[in-house]
Amino acid sequence: MTSLLAFLFVLGVLVFVHELGHFLVARYHGVRCLTFSLGFGPKLIQTKRGDTVYCVSAIPLGGYVKMAGENAEDEREGKDDEFLSKSKWQRFQILLAGPAMNFILAIVVMTVVLYQGAEIPVYQDQPPVVGSVVADSPAATADVRPGDRIMSVAGREVNTWEELFYAVLPRADREVEVVLRRDGEMRSIMLTPTGETEYNVGDLGVIPSISPQVVSVQSNSAARDAGIVAGDVIEGIEGRAVNQESLVQTINDNPNVPLSLQIRRDGAQQDILVTPNLVDGVGLIGVFLQPETRTIEPGPFEAFTLSLEQNYEWSGMIFQTLAGFFTRDTSPSQLVGPVGIAQLSGDAAEIGWMSLFGLMSMISLNLGILNLLPIPILDGGHIAIMALEGVSRRDFSVKLKEKMLLVGFALLMTLMVTVIYNDLTRVAWIERLMIWR
């Protein structure tokens, strides 16, 4: 139920904002709007104000604004308040307004999210120098070693761990060239990222060199008795540098043995002696860990600037993913449809409102970009048709436009079938029924 309600909330806001953009600019240019609908199909709730019927329809997977004289086949009276009576420039503005409102929403919502403050992994903006390699991973198979500096993936330069993750993410099960620097020499290797999670996210199997940070300390634990507190960064054990994996392994292997931890607290270094308790055959000190993070608490203008940067990075990832469908670098299995969005919305809602708003921002950006693709039936397709008419200096016939729209409809239906199929494969009990997989 949480997933359904969160999905309807997110989709309702995104569709309303998108269609509101078309509606407001159409009214600004004097176009008569006949219907403003959230959803498709039979009208469940409706009211009429002036010339416009405002309604909520039965199928909540989109919406539309019906304008007078919008299509060449519509019955037209030749009035100035009809869509096709307006200049191409005015029609372009009306078509562009929907995606533009989605871009604005993405920036505004992300500004609000960032203004609340956020915890960001410290390694995210650091150069991608390998700290450790996961056993039996693509990186291990290709002899990637700790200390290697990854320079590029599939010809794309990567300067931070975040850029590396974005470069690898869409390339699951696709062989790519990875250029790395080892001992001052450049090396080129070929490897195939594995697909992780139900969304088939590409992963090389390399981990940054990061210190673990204490998230919380259990009561009546060895860590509490030793004076360890939440926020402490554990940089070493017995004088040896550690990451989260090696720290946990050392503690597990030494129950009832006093261990010296090198702690950083509020910028100051100190040693703390802790003796792991024996629990179920392993040593435990009673802490929850995460990669070291830094807290950002931006002001309004800084939050807006960070939102612009975040949406710019997301846009680059979206375009990279779209381009990957043509170059076969991106697997169609990574596409997410309504069921997948509902699951993501439910997961985000359980974390909190800010997490849900962050997801809404990303989906809004996706919706804006996808609607501008030059596919007939989408806003971008109508804009492309107008552009072609402008270049040819003549309006296309109704029959030709119908053929174009039919092609666009077929493409969208193919896409819809693909994403729904992907969504169903992520539902465990349905996936077990797919004997061909």
Same domain, 16 and 104: yes
Per-residue confidence (pLDDT) for residue 160, from 0 to 100 = 93
Residue 60's pLDDT band (cuts 50, 70, 90): confident
Question: How many CA atoms lie less than 13 Å away from 316 in the CB half-sphere?
Answer: 12
Same domain, 224 and 261: yes
- Cβ neighbours, 10 Å, residue 326: 8
Residue 316: helix, strand or coil by DSSP? helix
According to DSSP, residue 396 is labeled P
Residue 236 falls within a domain, yes or no? yes
The 10s digit of each residue's pLDDT in 255-306 is: 999 999 999 998 899 999 999 999 889 999 999 998 888 888 899 999 999 9
Residue 4's pLDDT band (cuts 50, 70, 90): confident
- As a whole number of angstroms, the distance between CA 88 and CA 133 comes to 57
Of 34, 70, 37, the closest CA to residue 52 belongs to 34
Total domains in the fold of the chain: 3
Which residues touch 326 (CB under 8 Å, ≥6 apart)?
none
Torsion angles phi and psi, residue 328, rounded to 5? 70, 20
Which residues touch 309 (CB under 8 Å, ≥6 apart)?
none
Question: How many CA atoms lie less than 13 Å away from 191 in the CB half-sphere?
Answer: 27
Same domain, 389 and 403: yes
The 10s digit of each residue's pLDDT in 20-34 is: 999 999 999 999 999
pTM above 0.75, yes or no: yes
Residue 8 falls within a domain, yes or no? yes
Same domain, 134 and 110: no
Q: Does residue 19 carry a catalytic annotation? A: yes
- As a whole number, the mean pLDDT across the chain is 87
Of 107, 40, 93, 94, the closest CA to residue 412 belongs to 40
The region of weakest confidence among 71-80, 151-160, 201-210 is: 71-80
Of 170, 94, 218, the closest CA to residue 336 belongs to 170
Of 216, 211, 194, the closest CA to residue 203 belongs to 194
Same domain, 109 and 39: yes
218, 229 Cβ separation under 8 angstroms: no
Residue 22 falls within a domain, yes or no? yes
Same domain, 166 and 198: yes
Residue 56's pLDDT band (cuts 50, 70, 90): very high
Residue 41, judged by CB atoms within 10 A of its CB (0-12, 13-18, 19+), counts as exposed
Same domain, 52 and 98: yes
Per-residue confidence (pLDDT) for residue 22, from 0 to 100 = 96
User: The CATH number of the domain where 151 resides is what?
Assistant: 2.30.42.10
Torsion angles phi and psi, residue 128, rounded to 5? -75, 75
Average confidence (pLDDT) over 129-139: 90
Residue 244's pLDDT band (cuts 50, 70, 90): confident
Residue 222 falls within a domain, yes or no? yes
Same domain, 10 and 53: yes
* The most confident of 290-294, 396-400, 415-419, by mean pLDDT: 290-294
Tell me the β-bridge partners of 57.
43
Same domain, 7 and 112: yes
The region of weakest confidence among 171-180, 217-226, 288-297, 342-351 is: 342-351
Which is more confidently placed, 49 or 7? 49
Residue 5: helix, strand or coil by DSSP? helix
- As a whole number of angstroms, the distance between CA 131 and CA 123 comes to 11
Average confidence (pLDDT) over 137-146: 92
- As a whole number of angstroms, the distance between CA 232 and CA 240 comes to 17
Name the token pair of 371. 């609607």
279, 223 Cβ separation under 8 angstroms: no
Per-residue confidence (pLDDT) for residue 111, from 0 to 100 = 95
Per-residue confidence (pLDDT) for residue 217, from 0 to 100 = 93
Compute the Cα dihedral for 9, 14, 17, 18 and give only its sign: negative
Q: Could you list the residue range(s) of the whole structural domain that residue 280 is in?
A: 212-291
The 10s digit of each residue's pLDDT in 311-353 is: 998 898 888 878 777 777 777 776 776 767 777 777 777 777 8
Same domain, 374 and 418: yes
Same domain, 105 and 159: no
Residue 314 falls within a domain, yes or no? no
Indicate the residue among 247, 266, 291 that finishes a domain. Answer: 291
Q: Looking at the predicted structure, is the pLDDT value of residue 369 above 90?
A: yes
Task: Choose the catalytic residue: 19, 70, 163, 292.
Answer: 19
Question: How many CA atoms lie less than 13 Å away from 406 in the CB half-sphere?
Answer: 6
Residue 167 falls within a domain, yes or no? yes
Average confidence (pLDDT) over 395-423: 80
No. of helices (H) and no. of strands (E), the chain: 12, 20
- As a whole number of angstroms, the distance between CA 251 and CA 272 comes to 14
Name the token pair of 297. 């608490």
Q: Looking at the predicted structure, is the pLDDT value of residue 6 above 70?
A: yes
Same domain, 104 and 38: yes
- As a whole number of angstroms, the distance between CA 17 and CA 323 comes to 27
Average confidence (pLDDT) over 206-220: 90
